[in-house]
Amino acid sequence: MKDLILGLLIGGIIGLWFGVNLGKEQALMSNPFAGNRTIKELTNQLGDIQQNMSKKTQEIYDDSKKAVDEAF
């Protein structure tokens, strides 16, 4: 009985490890808990942030320029 429980426990852990990796479409022996962000994803995210900041900065500049022009 002890061997059966130990076998189920070890088999479950190994099966979970492989199952998570298969679900994430990673190599079977890779770490399933490692972050899977790639440089390309980070670059795209930083590019989006830069574009949003640029748009907001331009809006603030235009609004302040309009306010100054109206004041004088």
Sequence-distant (≥ 6) Cβ neighbours of residue 18 within 8 angstroms = 28
**Mean pLDDT on 48-59:** 96
Q: How confident is the model at residue 34 (pLDDT cuts 50, 70, 90)?
A: confident
Return the pLDDT at 25: 80
Return the pLDDT at 47: 93
| 55, two tokens | 């748009």
28, 34, 35, 38: CA torsion to nearest 10: -50
pTM for the whole structure: 0.45
Mean pLDDT, the chain, integer: 88
